[in-house]
Amino acid sequence: MSGPSLTALPRTLAKAVLTIIVIGPLYWVTISAFKGREEIIRSTPTLVPETFTLSNFEQLFQATDYPIFLRNSAIVAVGTTVVTLLLSLGAAYGLYRLRVPGGGRIAAAILLSYLIPGTLLIVPLYSMLADLQLIDTYAGLILVNVAFTAPFCTWLLRGFILSVPRDLDEAAAIDGAGPLRTMAQIVLPLLAPGIATVSVYSFVFAWTEFVFASQFVVSSSMQTLPIGLSAIVGQYTVNWGLVMAGTLFTLLPTIVLFAFVGRHFVGGLIAGATK
């Protein structure tokens, strides 16, 4: 009994340390959001708020533009998710299912584009969006996000599409179904785990994207949550209660999303990379 227990001890300790590293900051942000300002900046930290208060949340929604930031991020994230899903599904189906001539090279080029550092593209992207009059617009932000999510999601769907037997396509063709109908009625329902994986990835990417949004957004009315939270932090003084409340509400949608589909997301990443 002692042998297996000693063998499992390092693994148990590693899990405990990893849990603390991951959950610790989330816990600290949560409890700090319910603390008063004096308690937050106290030299001796408290693991549990001495007095729970909702003043930070009231100030967040009443004295700042946080509701505007929340609306903007929701529009951009949902738009990015929908467009990415449509493009990546169509591209993956065409490249990996229909045997398009040169599909392998096209797929490699798509994946290669994902490997280009995004910061190198800020200037050409800004010039392109300016020519199209898409600076400081939802469409511009969605377009930029899709440019980085669609290549990876197309590659990610490859494993799911290849795992669907081609006999189903042949049977559908015998029944008179074309490629579009075959995809919509036969293949697509079997890609549910892949669709969930792509949706979660693209939503979280757009929800947390900061670099491009900070460059392509000019007016305060178009700022997304990452930019808005950075604006809440003052130059000389920081209202940490306000920042923690804003951070908590920003994390909440992603936490809820992973609570429902997190298991399918992790499984989908593994399946998409190994099939």
Can you list the domains of the chain with their CATH numbers? 8-55 (no CATH), 64-274 (1.10.3720.10)
For the record, the structure tokens of 43 come out as 């030299």
Percent of the chain with pLDDT over 90: 23
User: Which has more pLDDT, 191 or 88?
Assistant: 88
**Tokens 């467009």 sit on residue:** 83
- Tell whether the torsion through CA atoms of 44, 50, 54 and 59 is positive or negative: negative
- Residue 78's pLDDT is 95
Of 8-12, 106-110, 224-228, which has the strongest mean pLDDT? 224-228
Calpha distance 197→217 (Å, rounded): 28
Query: What digits encode the pLDDT tens for the residues 64-77?
Result: 889 999 999 999 99
Q: Is 228 exposed, middle or buried (0-12, 13-18, 19+ CB in 10 A)?
A: buried
pLDDT of 1 higher than 50: no
CA-wise closest residue to 81 among 271, 264, 260, 257: 257
pLDDT of 46 higher than 80: yes
- Residue 236's pLDDT is 55
Determine the average pLDDT of the residues in 115-126.
Answer: 83
